[in-house]
Structure 1
Amino acid sequence: MKFPGKRKSKHYFPVNARDPLLQAIQQEQEEGSWVVGIDQTLVDIEAKVDDAFLQRYGLSAGHSLVIDDATAEALYDELMRDALISHQFAGGTIGNTLHNYSVLADDRSVLLGVMCNNIQIGGYAYRYLCNTSSRMDLNYLQGVDGAIGRCFTLIGEQGERTFAISPGLMNQLQAESIPEEVIAGASALVLTSYLVRCQPGEPMPAATLRAIEYAKKHNVPVVLTLGTKYVIQDNPQFWRDFLREHVSIVAMNEEEAFALTGEQDPLLASNMALDWVDLVLCTAGPTGLYMAGFTEEAFKRKTNHPLLPGAIAEFNQFEFSRAMRHQDCEQPLRIFSHIAPYMGGPEKIMNTNGAGDGALAALLHDITANNFHRQNVPNSSKHARGYLSYSSLAQVCKYANRVSYQVLNQHSPRLTRGLPEREDSLEESYWDR
């Protein structure tokens, strides 16, 4: 069997020994499942400017402001003309997640969104493509006659950062541009809260709901990342109802969890979120990472790690269990796991943007590996029940935690390579349990 990704080590996949029974199956299904996501396509642009530049475009130093398309175009043209730009990186929380998934798995992900019909070499749209994994399928992007989103980070003479945000046409994805066949074959549909909260009249929310409709029709898990506490705290009840009606897996940090649930403790917040979804991933900064989910009572597996204290006593008791969707359990049991930051966290955090997206990419890799294995070896005992993940909750925590560390330890939220090769030689692989 094989999983998404080309691994040199035999540790992950010990049945590579030309088993004739498996070879026939592998030849019939050479390509496994993929992950599909919808994003507001945008580019992060960083430049050093003087105070006169900020005044010229009506920007207030140290603040964040949404600017119109004409101002954005004039601002960008001046930055390019005077060679003031230091970095232009592809952005977007779902774009980052899918890119990192494709790097980790060395396998296909599909991005839905908009892209400029006319792309200038060296321009922002060109840079978006350059900073995106070649394993990420962009063939389903909808062309637009205009700009995608741009987020300008303007560094002043005193080092103060000013943000100018130009949405462009990033929210103009039409419902008709959502391909049902792509979602039908996916292991997961990945969304963000930003897609639902757009300006009146923009088509992105309708396109998002169309994608959710297709996912439900084909029993594809819907994954929602909460994006920012500011979106959630405006109307937490709306998001609770949205999760209950549409979402299988929610990814959030401790601030978003508090805005959603009113619980300061990430463990209690994750437990409450299980009232609405099947699986929870909650990053909690220096505290580490929590996961919560369901498994079948009769097949729970006890941990051999130390039992952890917390608001729920010995909450990690069954963390060696594999996650299941609530609807697939006859007697659902809530299971929890926690892991402290890998190696205590980086000595110096280079970038906090994207650590949660990296953790989610690891979770998606494990879910897709499970789906791929089910397709290729359907009679395996691994699939005697309808598990959502291939690994135990504890192992997924370990993998997600390691990827988060990698993102925190670099400038960009997008991985340029997979985990170091030595990670393939751990005593227990991420897929052992």
Structure 2
Amino acid sequence: MKFPGKRKSKHYFPVNARDPLLQATPQEQEEGSWVVGIDQTLVDIEAKVDDDFLQRYGLSAGHSLVIDDATAEALYDELMRDALISHQFAGGTIGNTLHNYSVLADDRSVLLGVMCNNIQIGSYAYRYLCNTSSRMDLNFLQGVDGAIGRCFTLIGEQGERTFAISPGLMNQLQADSIPEEVIAGASALVLTSYLVRFQPGEPMPAATLRAIDYAKKHNVPVVLTLGTKYVIQDDPQFWRDFLRDHVSIVAMNEEEALALTGEQDPLLASNIALDWVDLVLCTAGPTGLYMAGFTEDEFKRKTNHPLLPGAIAEFNQYEFSRAMRHQDCQQPLRIFSHIAPYMGGPEKIMNTNGAGDGALAALLHDITANNFHRQKVPNSSKHARGYLTYSSLAQVCKYANRVSYQVLNQHSPRLMRGLPEREDSLEESYWDR
């Protein structure tokens, strides 16, 4: 696995000039050096159409509508026949996150979900595979005799966007298709709020809860991305209880944070969320990115950056500390960090979809790098305590912020390549020395 950023050669692993008191494990180990996620497998399809097209399929210009499978097939066939499709991208918030993780880490991630048993060259399912990193393990997908999800973005003659959504069989993941051994060896289990609440009879919630049970059994952190404020605001107390009972890390934007906590300030909302989880990642649009977590009070590290004002005075005072799970702290101390948008944000934002997923991918990379290093050099002082992340909270913010910028600066929510090399910051050199 590659660590983020440009490092001196002595900081790569395996290390040749090692402290003789530190003995690496003699055998090669891979346990814990991947992440696993569950997703609704879907493809985002963009096409330019005329008003007659929308009327033929009963669509209202500028609105979003769920369509049945037969309508979706007829609509897709016409788009293909007349060569109206401009883009077909693999979608899904967890699929995007795992893909970006594999691109950043150049390492394995495992996707659980459904996929068409029969895939034709050039079809939407084929495009899903083509737009997915080869380092993303799709061998555990459950086959289905039918379509995966499709989200049609239809651009009208006046540039107005109309959305037609066809779920297909994307919610038909069965609990028996969840492999315990894959979750047991993972660094994290990644989920989205969309997976939990469905119509009666749909199997996806049971499959998700089965995966959570396996993660708890094997002490694997559960990561939840909140998805959209509309899911959360319907029943915020349900989600607070769900976070408290099942989740270690929550990723959200400022709107989802408001829906969850009732607090508009992202910093205060992140602080409230620490009542339920161990680590919080909150993207706040042009304001930047916040993180909140816990560390052992005795081993906290003060920042070298200017102390920031806010609803919590000088809240970034200990942002050079590494995050820990609350259960692993004797005297837990809440720590916070913030970073403004990288370079002030892109000059022209190409795509707002997926920036938060990119930030989460960076956090997952750091968590997995920590497990990887623990396996390779178990006696390192970096692992004297049960740290969750490899880098300080400030450095994870910096990395996540950079990945978000890269996603905003391109049309697709999925990275096509890794990031340019960059120099390490002061707090990283402290941990590595």
TM-score (norm 1): 0.95
Tell me how far apart the structure 2 counterparts of residues 13 and 209 of structure 1 sit (CA, whole Å). Answer: 36
Tell me how far apart the structure 1 counterparts of residues 106 and 6 of structure 2 sit (CA, whole Å). Answer: 6
Superposed CA offset, 1:128-182 (max 9, x none): 0000000000000000000000000000011100000000000000000000000
Measured after TM superposition, the shift of residue 348 of structure 1 is 0.6
Contact in 1 for aligned 2:105/2:365 (Cα 8 Å):
yes
| Partner SS state of residue 107, structure 1 | coil
Structure 1: where are the runs of 5+ without partners? none
Change (3 A) 1:9 1:283: farther
Superposed CA offset, 1:230-255 (max 9, x none): 00000000000000000000000000
Measured after TM superposition, the shift of residue 421 of structure 1 is 3.1
When structure 1 is superposed on structure 2, of 8-17 and 268-277 the one drifting more is 8-17
Change (3 A) 1:81 1:423: farther
Tell me how far apart the structure 2 counterparts of residues 377 and 427 of structure 1 sit (CA, whole Å). Answer: 20
Change (3 A) 1:69 1:326: same
Aligned residues: CA RMSD: 2.3
Superposed CA offset, 1:251-271 (max 9, x none): 000000000000000000000
Measured after TM superposition, the shift of residue 327 of structure 1 is 0.5
Match of 1:38 in 2: 38
Contact in 2 for aligned 1:5/1:107 (Cα 8 Å):
no
Question: Identity, % of aligned pairs?
Answer: 96
When structure 1 is superposed on structure 2, of 395-404 and 418-427 the one drifting more is 418-427
Change (3 A) 1:2 1:132: closer
| Partner SS state of residue 133, structure 2 | coil
Measured after TM superposition, the shift of residue 197 of structure 1 is 1.8
| Partner SS state of residue 22, structure 1 | coil
Change (3 A) 1:266 1:346: same
Contact in 2 for aligned 1:268/1:311 (Cα 8 Å):
yes
Superposed CA offset, 1:181-236 (max 9, x none): 00000000000000012222100000000000000000000000000000000000
Contact in 2 for aligned 1:4/1:369 (Cα 8 Å):
no
Tell me how far apart the structure 2 counterparts of residues 410 and 17 of structure 1 sit (CA, whole Å). Answer: 41
When structure 1 is superposed on structure 2, of 32-41 and 227-236 the one drifting more is 32-41
Measured after TM superposition, the shift of residue 40 of structure 1 is 0.1
Match of 1:153 in 2: 153
Change (3 A) 1:347 1:56: same
Contact in 2 for aligned 1:3/1:373 (Cα 8 Å):
no
Contact in 2 for aligned 1:5/1:106 (Cα 8 Å):
no
Tell me how far apart the structure 2 counterparts of residues 298 and 20 of structure 1 sit (CA, whole Å). Answer: 28
Contact in 1 for aligned 2:392/2:428 (Cα 8 Å):
no
Contact in 2 for aligned 1:396/1:430 (Cα 8 Å):
no
Contact in 2 for aligned 1:12/1:431 (Cα 8 Å):
no
Change (3 A) 1:228 1:183: same
Change (3 A) 1:3 1:52: same
Structure 2: where are the runs of 5+ without partners? none
Change (3 A) 1:54 1:31: same
Q: Between Structure 1 and Structure 2, how many residues are aligned? A: 433
Tell me how far apart the structure 2 counterparts of residues 19 and 11 of structure 1 sit (CA, whole Å). Answer: 12
Measured after TM superposition, the shift of residue 420 of structure 1 is 1.2
Measured after TM superposition, the shift of residue 29 of structure 1 is 2.0
TM-score (norm 2): 0.95
Measured after TM superposition, the shift of residue 33 of structure 1 is 1.5
| Partner SS state of residue 120, structure 2 | coil
Contact in 1 for aligned 2:41/2:148 (Cα 8 Å):
yes
| Partner SS state of residue 20, structure 1 | coil
